[in-house]
Structure 1
Amino acid sequence: MNKIQRSIDAVLSGKLQIEREPNYCLKADRQVIEDANGWAGGEWYKRMGIWSHFTPLNKQRAPTVPWARSMEQAFIDLKWTVPVKQARAGDVVFSRLPSDFGHIGLLGEGPGGQLCVLENATVRRGKSLGGALNWVPLSEWGGLTTVGRMPDVWVFDVSTPAPTVVAVKPAPVSVPTVPSGPRVLLENEAGGWDNVAGQRVSRGGVTINATDPNAVWIALRGEG
């Protein structure tokens, strides 16, 4: 299950409340990602190491507040990017409009599997979710510069472990116990062998005095 999609669906249904004031696009998407993973507030920034990827202007003008443009730089530096044609639900998308702060949106699936962008924006486009939130088809989301892909474990539920294979030892083949001591083995009607040592046995008109202490194998077939 796509955890990011599940949290986006919660936003769309009103079950999950995220930042609705304009100019807080990075905060809004951070809240969705952290809800999906059960993280505390700000945990996504720590895991991305955002502080090491601040743009020079971000450092100069807001040294303690990450901008979307710096988050985009983090994905680029980490090489966590994919071509737009490979985009999927759970990816993050970036635009450099405005160029200083940048802009971020979060991809999810809309009706019919269409990729849409959940964003906090200063403009209204797509479907308005109230306040500054939009739900916009990706094809209508202009200015896209980067598609960022987070590690799968941040996006998908852990797969159900494969069933443990238990090796079952085959039942041992039953081998008839061979009598100890002198043996005279006489074929029986079932195709097996009878030990007739020490016996006088008549088969097919022949009398056998099986007193020889050595093993003797005798097959008597027919009556004459």
Structure 2
Amino acid sequence: MPRRPRPAPRRGPGGPPPTPVTALRPRPERQAAYGHGDGLGTLRGTVAHRAIELAFAGADRADVAELIREESGGLLDEELVRALAGEIEEMLARFERSQLAATLRDPETACYFELPFAWNWDGVPVHGAIDLVYRDARGWHVVDFKTDELRGRTLEEASAPYLVQLALYGGAIEHATGERPGCALLFLRSGELHAPGEAALGEALAAARELVDAGGALEPEVGESREMEESPA
């Protein structure tokens, strides 16, 4: 069984603090909203991720409604809890029938959920947690879970906002293991696994790097990037 991949090192003392990978996404105003628009996207994603992790930790099937209550601090009414739990349970059932789930259940597969990393991306420290990293007979793989609705979009269109994030995950794992991983996004609502390919990932990463090198500032608190404003003379 392969060892858990080590985190890529943070930048040395005196360097800037690592920036969350999500800070390199496009500005929210430039993206259409493809979720429910109900303000529950973060909660929905957190609970779905956690329930999948628990399902492969040898525990009993997760009580999704209870996870929702815990993550929301008990602030949602029971009707909303039940409705949200039903959505997430459908995602879980679809995931459990997938080829990916079968691969993870193989005793020869080593899998790691919410794997933390920190990596110096050519002078730009980044950090985060990867939804799923696993190794099978073909090598290392990175999978990022998404609860977005496709709403008529192609997988390529739905994946576009996440390519930089996925490319950085792949780079961090390559740095840590010495092997280039396969990288994919799993859309939990449809059960579709999409591997953008090295060309698409490379183009997205190059564009993000151009933004950073041109003076773009990263805002970890809100998870978006913006151009630096010039100070008054």
TM-score, normalised to structure 2, is 0.22
Relative to its length, the structure with more helix (as a share) is 2
TM-score, normalised to structure 1, is 0.22
Q: Which has the larger radius of gyration?
A: 1
